[in-house]
Amino acid sequence: MTRQEKADRIGKILDELYPEPPIPLHHVDPFTLLVSVMLSAQTTDKKVNEVTPALFAEASDPKAMAAMPVERILAHIRTVGLAPTKAKNLKRMAQQLLDEHGGQVPADIDALEALPGVGHKTASVVMCQAFHKPAFPVDTHIHRLAARWGLSNGTNVAKTEADLKKLFAEDTWIRRHLQIIYFGREHCPARGHDLSHCPICAWAASKKRIAMESRAR
């Protein structure tokens, strides 16, 4: 089976399992999505969704976030990973939106990546989920599964993103990104996973990888 044939079969399975995958981070507009994605680094979406309601009750737009003391932002997000750094970046990001973009989140990936605390993955999530522009954000789940399924060699996330963009049609990127995340969480965990009984790994993973991960369990 070629890599493309494998990707096509995986796509069909994902479409059957998750025909309309929801965005896991609660938000109401591009700004609240941007904040939520920034908070999600090294933290679960569940934890982010627990802290953002109170934060957004006080600061749901760049002007209010920029005016809020870092200590106050930190008090809201203290339970998420890297909270002190994220609190500083949220305030700086909001101020930069006011200074350079009229208080609006730009629908441009380069402008997004120029914001404090916003990397390529975060910018890609905002582009596809807030502005519906084709992008294929690669998080740890996607990077891991692409290598496990033999869709990419897994050397780095940039290579994984490039490989997946070649294998999947552009008009599927937005849902494919979410589908793989959900599949990783619900069917294909990083550890203790029996690849031989997985609906995708059982046939997509190499015999060598199945044996290797079986020994690691």
One-letter amino acid for residue 153 of the chain: N
Q: Where is the domain boundary, 129, 159, 185?
A: 129
How sure is the predictor about 216, in pLDDT bands with cuts at 50, 70 and 90? low
Q: What total of structural domains would you count in the chain? A: 2
**What number is the average pLDDT over the span 6-30?**
97
Confirm whether 207 is a catalytic residue: no
- pLDDT over 90 at 210, yes or no: no
- pLDDT over 90 at 192, yes or no: no
Res 56: pLDDT = 98
Q: Which of 139, 171, 194, 208 is catalytic?
A: 139
Same domain for 45 and 121?
yes
CATH number of the domain residue 109 falls in: 1.10.340.30
How sure is the predictor about 86, in pLDDT bands with cuts at 50, 70 and 90? very high
Q: For residues 74-89, b (16+ Cβ closer than 10 Å) or e, as one string?
A: bebbeebeebeebbeb
**Backbone dihedral region for residue 103 (phi beyond 0: left; psi -120 to 50: alpha; all else: beta):** left
Same domain for 12 and 45?
no
Provide the mean pLDDT of the chain: 94
Give the separation between CA 50 and CA 80, rounded to whole angstroms.
Answer: 10
The residues, ordered by sequence, that sit 6+ positions from 6 with a Cβ below 8 Å of its Cβ are 149, 150, 151, 204
Q: Which of 121, 163, 165, 171 is catalytic?
A: 121
**pLDDT digits 0-9 by tens, 115-171:** 999 999 999 999 999 999 999 999 888 999 999 999 998 789 999 999 999 999 999
- pLDDT over 70 at 217, yes or no: no
Domain contains 182 = yes
Confirm whether 139 is a catalytic residue: yes
Structural domain of 144? 3-20+137-216
Same domain for 79 and 119?
yes
Domain contains 25 = no
Whether this model's pTM surpasses 0.85: yes
